[in-house]
């Protein structure tokens, strides 16, 4: 199971915007996260279209959260950045050389991925951006303690 760079870096960019006082510029996010400015701009555009950040124009312009960190659900952010681990069309995309999957009636693999997705959804739907930022806002470039999340056993 892998998360894409869009999901990883996009979430990191959103967290950086949440941690910065005032507006967060593309350059500042790029430097703080070690990601190219072009990629940060692309990710912030996706996050803006998804409704998680708002762009502010002008001399003090940049990006700010579009709503409070406790109202931004991490699962929603990851969905906008890349989708889910197990999509409804999984079987159509992995049917092998035949048109329809040969295991559509009784598929242990589909059941497994469904349980994994359910568990991931349970954690991500209960985790907000505020949970990841922590209760204490950082001072300049201090590192912020991140809440460690654990998934329930299957």
CA neighbor of 79 nearest in space, from 87, 89, 69: 87
Pick the CATH number of 5-133 from 3.40.50.1220, 3.40.50.80, 1.10.10.10, 1.20.1250.20: 1.10.10.10
Question: What is the reported pLDDT for 103?
Answer: 56
User: Residue 96 has what pLDDT?
Assistant: 54
N- to C-terminal Cα distance for the chain?
A: 16
Q: Would you state the pLDDT for residue 108? A: 73
Please report the pLDDT score of residue 122 as a whole number. 86
**What pLDDT score was predicted for residue 148?**
36
Residues 6+ away with beta carbon under 8 Å from 96 = 102
CA distance 55 to 132: 22
Averages of pLDDT over runs of 10 residues in the chain (154 residues) are: 82 94 93 96 96 91 92 93 68 56 64 80 88 59 36 43
Whole-number Å distance between alpha carbons of 154 and 152: 6
Q: What is the pLDDT of residues 13-37, one digit of tens each?
A: 999 999 988 899 999 999 999 999 9
Write the pLDDT tens digit of every residue in 136-151: 434 333 333 333 344 4
CA distances from 97 to 3, 52, 90, 105 (A): 26, 40, 15, 18
What is the model's pTM? 0.73
Cβ of 75: how many Cβ atoms within 10 Å? Answer: 17
């Amino acid at each position: 199971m892998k998360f894409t760079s869009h999901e990883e870096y996009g979430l990191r960019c959103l967290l950086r915007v949440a941690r910065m006082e005032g507006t967060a510029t593309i350059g500042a996010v790029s430097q703080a996260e070690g990601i190219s400015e072009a990629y940060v701009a692309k990710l912030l555009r996706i996050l803006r279209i998804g409704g998680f950040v708002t762009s502010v124009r002008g001399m003090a312009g940049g990006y700010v959260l579009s709503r409070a960190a406790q109202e931004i659900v991490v699962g929603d952010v990851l969905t906008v950045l890349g989708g889910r681990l197990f999509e409804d069309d999984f079987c159509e995309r992995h049917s092998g050389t035949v048109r329809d999957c040969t295991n559509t009636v009784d598929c242990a693999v589909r059941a497994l991925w469904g349980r994994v997705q359910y568990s991931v959804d349970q954690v991500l739907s209960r985790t907000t951006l505020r949970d990841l930022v922590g209760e204490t806002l950082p001072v300049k470039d201090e590192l912020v303690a991140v809440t460690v999340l654990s998934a329930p056993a299957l």
